[in-house]
Amino acid sequence: MFGEGYAVKQGEQRYGSESPAGQAPNGSRWDNDAPSFDVAEYWRLALKHRFIILGTLITAIVLGVIATLLMTPIYTATTTVQIDREAARILDVDDGAPRESMVQGEEFFQTQYGLLRSRTLAERVVDDLGLATSPEFLEQFGVEVTPRGGETTAATTARRREAVLEIIKKNLGVAPVRGSRLVTVSFNSPAPELSSRVANAFAENFIQANLDRKYESSAYARRFLEERIAQTKLKLEEAERGLVGYATQQQIVNVQEANSSEGQTLSLAASNLSTLSSSLADARARRVAAQERWQVARSGSIMTIPDVVQNPSIQRLSEERAKFVAEYQQKLNLYQPEYPEMVQLKSRIDELSAQINTVAVGIRASIQSQYSAAANEETSLQRQVNGLVGEVLDLRGRSVQYNILQREVDTSRTLYDGLLQRYKEVGITGGVTSNNISIVDAAMPPAKPSKPQLILNLAIAAVLGLGLGLAAALIIEALDETLATPDDVESKLGLSVLGVAPLLEKGQNPRAALDDPRSGFSEAYYSLRTALQFSTPNGSPATMLVTSTRPAEGKSTTAYAVALNLSRTGKRVLLIDGDLRNPSMHRVIGRENEFGMSNILSGSMELAAAAVATDHQGLDFIACGPLPPNPAELWASDRLTRVLADAQAIYDHVVIDGPPVLGFADAPVLASAVSATVFVLESRGTRRAQARGAIRRLQVGRARLLGAVLTKFNTKTLQYGGYDYAYDYTYGTRDDASNTKKKR
What does the pLDDT look like over 411-420, one tens digit per residue? Answer: 888 888 888 8
- Predicted pLDDT of residue 429: 56
The pLDDT tens digits for 7-43 are 334 433 333 334 443 445 544 444 444 455 678 778 8
Q: Which of 715, 731, 734 is nearest to 500 (CA)?
A: 715
Could you tell me where the DSSP H helices lie in 573-715? 585-589, 597-602, 607-610, 631-635, 639-650, 666-673, 688-700
**For 275-332, what is the HEC assignment?**
HHHHHHHHHHHHHHHHHHHHHHHHHCCHHHCHHHHCCHHHHHHHHHHHHHHHHHHHHC
- Predicted pLDDT of residue 104: 52
The CB density around residue 232, as the number of other CB atoms within 10 Å, is 21
Give the mean model confidence (pLDDT) for residues 499-504: 89
Give Cα 272 to chain centroid, integer Å: 82
The DSSP-derived string for 444-465 is: ---SS--B--HHHHHHHHHHHH
Amino acid at 229: I
β-bridge partners, 443: none
Q: Which residue has the higher pLDDT, 74 or 44?
A: 74
The CB density around residue 12, as the number of other CB atoms within 10 Å, is 9
- Predicted pLDDT of residue 36: 58
Distance CA 502, CA 712 (A): 5
Give the mean model confidence (pLDDT) for residues 81-103: 58
Q: In this model, does residue 378 exceed pLDDT 70?
A: yes
User: How buried is residue 620: exposed, middle or buried, by Cβ count under 10 Å (0-12/13-18/19+)?
Assistant: buried
The pLDDT tens digits for 119-139 are 999 999 999 998 888 888 888
Distance CA 431, CA 128 (A): 24
The pTM (predicted TM-score) of the whole model is: 0.50
**From 141-155, 262-276, 477-491, the region with the lowest mean pLDDT:** 262-276
The CB density around residue 453, as the number of other CB atoms within 10 Å, is 13
User: How buried is residue 139: exposed, middle or buried, by Cβ count under 10 Å (0-12/13-18/19+)?
Assistant: exposed
709 pLDDT tier (thresholds 50, 70, 90): very high
Distances (CA, A) of 290 to 148, 183, 375: 119, 91, 9
Q: Which residue has the higher pLDDT, 740 or 573?
A: 573
Q: Residues, the chain, total?
A: 744
Give Cα 411 to chain centroid, integer Å: 56
Give Cα 554 to chain centroid, integer Å: 61
- Predicted pLDDT of residue 211: 83
Distance CA 732, CA 315 (A): 162
Give the mean model confidence (pLDDT) for residues 174-178: 92
- Predicted pLDDT of residue 105: 64
Q: In this model, does residue 44 exceed pLDDT 90?
A: no
The DSSP-derived string for 137-154 is: HHHHTT----PPTT--HH
- Predicted pLDDT of residue 406: 80
Q: Which residue has the higher pLDDT, 452 or 616?
A: 616
Distance CA 707, CA 709 (A): 7
Q: Which residue has the higher pLDDT, 237 or 186?
A: 186
The pLDDT tens digits for 326-343 are 888 888 888 888 888 888
3 state SS of 186: strand
Q: Which of 190, 202, 114, 196 is nearest to 165 (CA)?
A: 202
User: How buried is residue 266: exposed, middle or buried, by Cβ count under 10 Å (0-12/13-18/19+)?
Assistant: middle
